[in-house]
Structure 1
């Protein structure tokens, strides 16, 4: 399929490479052109604006930072369906949004796109940069069943699993459930590391000691080394978690869901931002819970 892709960042770049390796033609745009240009050697075509994609692509995939970025790329000046664009959406039949944004905004954007004859699939992903690089992302999708069936072979270039969760917005709501679990778990791991260290136990051995038990998890095995050692590559950022957990809180208020644990994590992340840790990796949860002078925050 002829595809467009907006947002070749840490997640998007390996996703694009998987699409190219699967035989798709991919036209790429990024606000920082150098990030798009870096993919030209892999066979991607670089364009100057999101609007340029609609002449080439049957589907345009997004992987951008937040709700405002999605609106700008799709409906802003020079956007895929910007108000300054012709009514004709070119070859583009679908927009697939892999960003993590507010479900209410997703439904609004999908309705606006539908008036231009373009289908919208909200398809946030889980698995992080390692999952994007390995092509094993979990994709939770909302939208029309026929649209998702048409695009699933494309998404499977980098997604090990595509689950249709319901109408437009259901994919984003599922991602919020994912983030609520991940945020609470990483915070819990940080608390356990702090407790072990305060008690004089070698916290670095927690994954070994808990292997096979109920506390064992990918997150435990991933973050204990990052919370107890230096030199690891950072995973994500507290700023991104704060954006997502704030959206979780908004969804809880809108639906009446009771989420006291997510509320506690939200306050923890706000404390981290006040401490200057917003740009730190997710392992810096341990530095919020057990602040100390001296070394820089862990990755």
Structure 2
């Protein structure tokens, strides 16, 4: 079977890991990133650098994106050298792994269809760079069923759990709910670690102690140990990204007139942490916000 030529736009933590996975499986991959300095690792693995998103779309059968936010996806799609701005595009399918709003997704899907006769799948991911490198991502997909079927082989190469959730925007809606759980969970794991450490028990044994009970989860087994060990370098996900996602959860809930006080509180915690200068810190390091507030209280200053 001839593998499709992949174009990948956005070589950050996740984009780099996914591109390396695709190259290891034998896919030809053309790449573009706003900061070209990020391309070194994937080019060394055989990826082909492009000068613009438009050039990526002219080179590839399927274009993938994994960029920061709604504005970045829109720029890479509709901007002066966007992937759908050239009349002679080779690519017929766009798969967006970014986390953006369902409304933006539907707008961009309509744009690429009308402008360049391309179809769009929103396919946000969860799992982090290690899962991406190992093809173990969880991928939530929205879009037409026939486009999902066309993309399933390459999606299965990247994810161990790939689910078509419905029409355009459905994948992003599932990701919003995922991020509500993740963001609130990171805050909860930090508070659990602080409580365990203050209590005098062996806090490192808590995940093993609670395994199999109602409190057990991937967060407890994988995130809590990193928080307890303060093992945050190198980051596997940036606080600014999760803060942005939590704001999107709050906005989505507000539009649906859903009152979510726990999610709102977690979003405020991440906003405070980012505002304190931790934008590029690991998301799990949110416990440092609690520690800095405690230090300020002990020093007699404002929390």
Q: Normalization by structure 1: what TM-score?
A: 0.91
> What residue number does 1:155 align with?
155
Residue 29 of structure 1: how far off its partner (Å): 0.9
> Which aligned pairs between 1:30-179 and structure 2 lie closer than 5 A?
30-82=33-85, 85=86, 88-116=87-115, 117-179=117-179
Contact 2:232 2:284 in 1 (8 A): no
Alpha-carbon distance in structure 2 between the residues aligned to 1:100 and 1:33: 22
> What residue number does 1:264 align with?
265
Contact 1:37 1:46 in 2 (8 A): no
SS of the counterpart of 1:270?
helix
Contact 1:89 1:118 in 2 (8 A): no
Alpha-carbon distance in structure 1 between the residues aligned to 2:170 and 2:100: 12
Alpha-carbon distance in structure 2 between the residues aligned to 1:25 and 1:42: 11
Change beyond 3 A, Cα 1:235–1:39: closer
- Please tell me the root mean square deviation across aligned C-alpha atoms, in Å: 1.8
Alpha-carbon distance in structure 1 between the residues aligned to 2:224 and 2:174: 26
Q: Please identify, of 272-281 and 190-199, the stretch whose mean Cα deviation from structure 2 is larger.
A: 272-281
Q: Please identify, of 108-117 and 33-42, the stretch whose mean Cα deviation from structure 2 is larger.
A: 33-42
SS of the counterpart of 1:28?
strand
SS of the counterpart of 1:185?
helix
Contact 2:125 2:138 in 1 (8 A): yes
Alpha-carbon distance in structure 2 between the residues aligned to 1:228 and 1:40: 36
1:199 aligns with 2:202: no
Residue 224 of structure 1: how far off its partner (Å): 2.5
> What residue number does 1:297 align with?
none
Structure with more helix by fraction: 2
Contact 1:54 1:89 in 2 (8 A): no
Alpha-carbon distance in structure 1 between the residues aligned to 2:196 and 2:113: 54
Deviation track 1:72-121 (CA, whole Å, cap 9, x = no partner) reads 11111111123xx4xx2421101110000111111111111110211010
> What residue number does 2:299 align with?
none
SS of the counterpart of 2:208?
helix
Alpha-carbon distance in structure 2 between the residues aligned to 1:119 and 1:107: 11
SS of the counterpart of 1:245?
helix
Change beyond 3 A, Cα 1:108–1:182: same
> Which aligned pairs between 1:266-281 and structure 2 lie closer than 5 A?
266-281=267-282
Flag structure 1 segments of 5+ consecutive residues without an equivalent. 295-299
Paired residues, number: 290
Residue 282 of structure 1: how far off its partner (Å): 2.0
Alpha-carbon distance in structure 1 between the residues aligned to 2:88 and 2:152: 22
Residue 274 of structure 1: how far off its partner (Å): 3.4
SS of the counterpart of 1:4?
strand
Contact 2:13 2:236 in 1 (8 A): no
Flag structure 2 segments of 5+ consecutive residues without an equivalent. 297-303
Contact 1:203 1:224 in 2 (8 A): no
Residue 203 of structure 1: how far off its partner (Å): 2.1
SS of the counterpart of 1:163?
strand
